[in-house]
């Protein structure tokens, strides 16, 4: 049991060291700039994904709406994974593949940023949500793993965790999300430090 624990922590540490690459850091900077610009201009951040990625969407939306590290004004962010009535109505009346697409159609527009989160890069409903976001004029961002997968093709920008292991990707996604929230807070409210 002890060996397994050490193995898991070692795997996580090895991946986190890879996140220090210039490429990964540049991806984060570009996404932080897009989020910051959208929020400064009155846009909102819409986040979505499935399973653990749905939880990440909720977590990051909460950090933006409430606060991350600074006492500051609320930032408009929505997790499209939380309203069970909306999710189940769309899944029942249309198809589960449309659960994010329909919400994006209703809630997103030019000046907004849609963030699709997927460890595999293959989630069909995330792809459809990002396609709809482009159609309504929103920027599209992927927080991905496994080389980006199919979702990469519908993203204006993507942050791709260099791993194929779901637990490691999820850990890196929430760390990366925290870094993004910190960068956005600092860019918009840094004078409050």
Mean pLDDT score, 79-97: 97
Mean of the pLDDT values across residues 35-62? Answer: 98
Q: Produce one character per residue of 34-66: b if its CB has 16 or more CB atoms within 10 Å, e if not.
A: bbbebbeeebbbbbbbbebbbbbbbbbbebbee
**Mean pLDDT confidence for 17-33:** 98
What's the mean pLDDT in 51-63?
Answer: 98
Structural class in CATH, domain 2-192: alpha beta
pTM > 0.85: yes
Please, are residues 78 and 44 in contact by the beta-carbon 8 Å criterion?
yes
Q: How far apart are CA 35 and CA 115, in angstroms?
A: 10
- Per-residue pLDDT, 190: 87
**CA atoms of 149 and 118, how far apart (whole Å):** 9
Each residue's pLDDT tens digit, 71-81: 999 999 999 99
Q: Which of 150, 157, 149 is nearest to 176 (CA)?
A: 157
| Burial status of residue 130 (CB atoms within 10 A of its CB: 0-12, 13-18, 19 or more) | buried
> Could you tell me the pLDDT band of residue 125, with boundaries at 50, 70 and 90?
very high
What pLDDT band is residue 193 in, cutting at 50, 70 and 90? low
Q: What is the mean pLDDT of the chain?
A: 97
Decide if 127 contacts 50 (C-beta within 8 A): no
- Check pLDDT > 90 for residue 191: no
Using CA atoms, how far residue 187 sits from 33, 38, 115, 150, 172, in Å, is 9, 12, 19, 31, 22
CB 125 within 8 Å of CB 111: no
């Amino acid at each position: 049991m002890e060996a397994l624990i050490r193995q898991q922590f070692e795997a996580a540490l090895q991946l986190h060291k890879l996140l220090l690459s210039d490429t990964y850091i540049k991806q984060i900077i570009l996404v932080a700039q897009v989020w910051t610009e959208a929020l400064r201009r009155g846009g909102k951040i819409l986040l979505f994904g499935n399973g653990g990625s749905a939880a990440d969407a909720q977590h990051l939306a909460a950090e933006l709406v409430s606060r991350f590290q600074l006492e500051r004004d609320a930032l408009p962010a929505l997790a499209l994974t939380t309203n069970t009535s909306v999710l189940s109505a769309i899944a029942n009346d249309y198809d589960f593949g449309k659960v994010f697409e329909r919400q994006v159609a209703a809630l997103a527009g030019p000046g907004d940023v849609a963030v699709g989160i997927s460890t595999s890069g293959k989630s069909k409903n995330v792809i459809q949500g990002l396609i709809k976001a482009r159609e309504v004029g929103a920027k599209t961002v992927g927080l991905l793993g496994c080389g980006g997968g199919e979702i990469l093709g519908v993203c204006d920008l993507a942050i791709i965790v260099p791993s194929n292991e779901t637990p490691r990707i999820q850990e890196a996604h929430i760390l990366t999300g925290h870094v993004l929230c910190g960068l956005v807070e600092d860019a918009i409210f840094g004078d409050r430090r």
